[in-house]
Homo-oligomer: A and B are copies of this chain.
Amino acid sequence: MLNETIRSKLSQVSTATLCTALFKAGLRNQYIQDVRPVQPKGKNMVGEAFTLRYIPAREDLNQLTVFQDPAHPQRKAVEDCPPGSVLVIDSRKDPRAASAGSILVSRLMVRGVAGIVTDGGLRDSPEIGTLAIPAYHNRPSAPTNLTLHQALDIDVPIGCGDVAVFPRDVIVGDDEGVVVIPAHLAAEIANAATEMTVFEDFVTEKVLEGRSILGLYPPTDPAVAKEFSQWRVANRR
């Protein structure tokens, strides 16, 4: 479960560091491919995955009237996604029609949802970029959702950008992209990434001072370990 401690840690590490921590844990394929922020936010998105699955739209089942049904899965997902969670949409990597638009994303924002991710496209993307909720997609896409997508079910395991996403997996996004942390590893990965971040900050400082990376990164020179300990103390990390 994503408690506040883990959430806080995950809000202060990068997706790059998380990918390395996951790689060490034997998971090489947790970065959602070819997805980017609608607008960089300068801070992390963190939340448990709440999923929405699309299949290709068949014309007779996807007239605009379908949205009149309060149980339509896209509408329902927007109302049901828990505050603090991230809505992750399987759009089959097809950005030729929108996965969602600004009104739905505004509703998610007002409801306290932590963010939205689709491996398709978002419409009204200029407006979405101005909202106080992080949003990730492949590219802007104005055509209405029903043109190519039928929202089918909610909170089932899905694929998104070639990554498996299970409900409750922990989703972290930064200005680079989005990573999926299996639920049972969230604490372990958060801790590992936090430790790695401290060391990377130390390394970056040394590199900017002119130090070679050899011996330092990774720290094969035994003196580095000692220097790092002292740096942690001095920097209260």
Residues of A within 8 A of B (CB): 14-16, 18-20, 23-24, 26-31, 33-34, 36, 40, 55-61, 64, 67-68, 70, 75, 78-79, 92, 94, 96, 98, 101-104, 106-107, 110, 123-126, 139-144, 146-147, 150, 152-153, 156-159, 162-164, 174-177, 179, 182, 200, 203-204, 207-208, 210, 212-215, 217-218, 220
Contacts and interface: CB of A to CB of B under 8 A. Distances in A.
Nearest to A72: B214
Nearest to A20: B144
A57 B26 CA distance: 13
A127 to B, nearest CB: 8
A6 to B, nearest CB: 19
A14 B144 CA distance: 12
A123 B215 CA distance: 22
A56 B169 CA distance: 14
B57 A164 contact: yes
**CB-CB nearest 8 A-B residue pairs:** A16-B123, A126-B175, A15-B142, A16-B142, A140-B176, A55-B159, A19-B143, A56-B164
Contact of A59 (B26, B79, B139): B26
B16 A214 contact: no
Given A27-B59, A126-B175, A140-B176, 13 more contacts: A20-B144, A34-B139, A56-B159, A56-B164, A58-B164, A60-B182, A68-B218, A75-B214, A102-B204, A103-B217, A126-B176, A142-B179, A152-B156
A214 B79 contact: yes
16 contacts: A24-B64, A27-B58, A28-B143, A29-B57, A29-B147, A31-B142, A40-B126, A56-B164, A70-B214, A70-B220, A75-B214, A79-B213, A103-B203, A103-B207, A142-B177, A142-B179
Nearest to A214: B70
Nearest to A182: B58
Contacts of A146: 23
A103 B31 contact: no
B150 A153 contact: no
Contacts of A124: 14, 16, 176
A202 to B, nearest CB: 11
Q: Which residue, of A19, A143, A153, has the highest number of chain B Cβ atoms within 10 A?
A: A143
Given A68-B220, A140-B176, A142-B177, A106 B55 contact: no
